């Protein structure tokens, strides 16, 4: 490697995507170096990553947890900053080449937003930013000349398959879904699902929020909305197919009927690396497909009766405006309540439906309006849980 290294700001370095990103950086033969690593609570892990990667800064966003820790184990060349506001300031620094947004949920919005405002190359894992405020985020990216490269494996697959033709030649995009651990459950069985069962995903090892989202198929609903904004695709041209092996990561059908797909084992290191290296490719640490072993890949249509979250995603992708923000926040609140044992698994979609039905729709909201609605939808879910 003779070219100068590219400096990476990694937001959410201790999570599932964060750790895989560090694996990609470690295997990049000096192509990437860490400028900034952030974490919320696993601060010993953050300090360990800082000792290995020696970033210019670490940010510990949970101020109480950060104040309670002795930070003398940080490398001498790494400066500690405490509190979420430091993220927005540091990602905008001129030395930062790539911002990987791997914070989970609504909490990831500010860092992603600051990176877009600063015109950075953004490797976007935090799909919630696009669900909450996709129209505004895409406009901001265009105004500031920021690039958004998808980390989500389905969107990475679509992005790669779309390079086979012009976007005006795309007839539809087809997102694959593993179907989660309960794809064979009856409605009655789904009512009884426990948090421990839902946290055990068959093909992907991920953080708890997205693991529950995968089990309800809300993750695919959020991904339909993400695809709508990322690829400027009307919701009628976005379909979902269940593919339990998670090898075909998504498909693009062109107007002539040709279908292009991207295939690889379920390993997030590949889409993370591609988002960082685009438009180039280089050998990386992701696992490879092995065609010397017999295998079979299945495809089934999704069942909207058992997984009604999918309908909510289609509806929000179609209506746009304020619907994504309400769905995103209601889902985050409902998932937390399910994990806390307050509501059943099937109540997650019911709570989201109720919040969507009772909100005042606005087709052209501002970001301030969307953030206020985010708070409103969380209160609405609490009230729904109390009364129902």
As annotated, the binding site for 1-deoxy-D-xylulose 5-phosphate includes: 127, 153-154, 178, 201, 214, 219-220, 223
Contacts of 232 (CB under 8 A, 6+ apart): 138, 167
Chain centroid, CA 243 distance in Å: 19
Of 36, 47, 198, 210, which one interacts with ligand NAD (CB under 6 A)? 210
Alpha-carbon gap, residue 268 to 155, rounded angstroms: 12
Alpha-carbon gap, residue 20 to 284, rounded angstroms: 12
Q: Considering the rule CB under 5 A, would residue 267 count as an interface residue with Mg ion?
A: no
Residues 8-37 that bind ligand NAD (CB under 6 A): 12-18
Chain centroid, CA 171 distance in Å: 25
Beta-carbon-side half-sphere exposure of residue 81 (alpha carbons within 13 Å): 18
For ligand NAD (CB under 6 A), the number of binding residues is 28
Closer residue to Mg ion in complex, CB, 56/201: 201
Which residue ranges are tagged as binding site for NADPH? 14-17, 126, 128, 207
Of 7, 8, 25, 40, which one interacts with ligand NAD (CB under 6 A)? 40
Q: Which residues pair with 34 in a beta bridge?
A: 8
Contacts of 297 (CB under 8 A, 6+ apart): 243, 245, 247, 248
Distance from the first to the final alpha carbon of the chain: 61
Question: Which of 205-213, 327-335, 342-350, 373-381 is the region at the interface with ligand NAD (rule: CB under 6 A)?
Answer: 205-213
Contact 276, 100 (CB under 8 A): yes
Residues 147-186 that bind Mg ion (CB under 5 A): 152, 154
Q: Which residue has the tokens 């593919």?
A: 243
Residues 125-184 that bind ligand NAD (CB under 6 A): 125-128, 152
Which residue ranges are tagged as binding site? 14-17, 126-128, 152-154, 178, 201, 207, 214, 219-220, 223
- The entry of ligand NAD, Mg ion, none that residue 36 binds, CB within 5 to 8 Å by partner kind: none
Residues 68-107 that bind ligand NAD (CB under 6 A): 84, 102-104, 107
Q: Minimum Å distance from CB 41 to ligand NAD?
A: 6
Of 5, 75, 119, 207, which one interacts with ligand NAD (CB under 6 A)? 207
Alpha-carbon gap, residue 244 to 342, rounded angstroms: 30
Q: Considering the rule CB under 5 A, would residue 347 count as an interface residue with Mg ion?
A: no
Write each residue from 135 to 154 as x if it is in contact with Mg ion (CB under 5 A), else as -, in one continuous string. Answer: -----------------x-x
Q: Considering the rule CB under 6 A, would residue 253 count as an interface residue with ligand NAD?
A: no
Contact 266, 297 (CB under 8 A): no
Alpha-carbon gap, residue 139 to 277, rounded angstroms: 24
Residues 104-133 that bind ligand NAD (CB under 6 A): 104, 107-108, 125-128
Helices 208-216 and 323-339: angle between axes, nearest 10 degrees: 110
Alpha-carbon gap, residue 102 to 114, rounded angstroms: 14
Residue ranges in contact with ligand NAD by CB under 6 A: 12-18, 39-42, 61, 84, 102-104, 107-108, 125-128, 152, 204, 206-207, 210, 268
């Amino acid at each position: 490697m003779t070219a100068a290294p590219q400096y990476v700001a990694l937001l959410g370095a201790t999570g599932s995507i964060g750790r895989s990103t560090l694996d990609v950086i470690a295997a990049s033969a000096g192509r990437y170096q860490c400028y900034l690593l952030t974490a919320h609570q696993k601060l010993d892990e953050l300090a360990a990553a800082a000792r290995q990667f020696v970033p210019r800064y670490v940010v510990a966003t949970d101020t109480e947890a950060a104040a309670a820790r002795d930070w003398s184990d940080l490398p001498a060349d790494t400066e500690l900053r405490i509190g979420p506001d430091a993220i927005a300031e540091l990602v905008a620094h001129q030395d930062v080449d790539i911002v990987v947004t791997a914070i989970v949920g609504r909490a990831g919005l500010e860092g992603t937003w600051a990176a877009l405002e600063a015109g950075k190359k953004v490797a976007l894992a935090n799909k919630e930013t696009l669900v909450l405020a996709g129209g505004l985020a895409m406009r901001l990216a265009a105004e500031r000349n920021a690039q958004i490269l998808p980390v989500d494996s389905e969107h990475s697959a679509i992005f790669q398959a779309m390079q086979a033709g012009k976007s005006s030649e795309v007839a539809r995009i087809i997102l694959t879904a593993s179907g989660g651990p309960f794809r064979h459950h009856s409605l009655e069985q789904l009512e009884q699902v426990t948090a421990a069962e839902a946290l055990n995903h068959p093909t992907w090892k991920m953080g708890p929020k997205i693991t529950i989202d995968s089990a309800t198929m809300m993750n695919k609903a959020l991904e339909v909305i993400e695809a709508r904004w990322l690829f400027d695709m009307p919701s009628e041209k976005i379909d979902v197919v269940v593919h339990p092996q998670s090898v075909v990561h998504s498909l693009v059908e062109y107007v002539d009927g040709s279908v292009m797909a991207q295939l690889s084992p379920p390993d997030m290191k590949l889409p993370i690396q591609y988002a960082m290296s685009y438009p180039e490719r280089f050998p990386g640490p992701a696992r490879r497909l092995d065609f010397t072993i017999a295998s079979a890949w299945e495809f089934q249509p999704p069942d909207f009766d058992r997984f009604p979250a999918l309908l909510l995603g289609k509806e929000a992708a179609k209506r746009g405006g304020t619907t994504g923000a309400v769905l995103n926040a209601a889902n985050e609140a409902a998932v937390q309540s399910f994990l806390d044992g307050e509501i059943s698994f099937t109540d997650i979609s019911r709570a989201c439906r109720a919040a969507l039905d009772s909100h005042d729709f606005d087709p052209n909201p501002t970001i301030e309006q969307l953030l206020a609605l985010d708070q409103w939808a969380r209160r609405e879910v609490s009230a729904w849980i109390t009364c129902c």
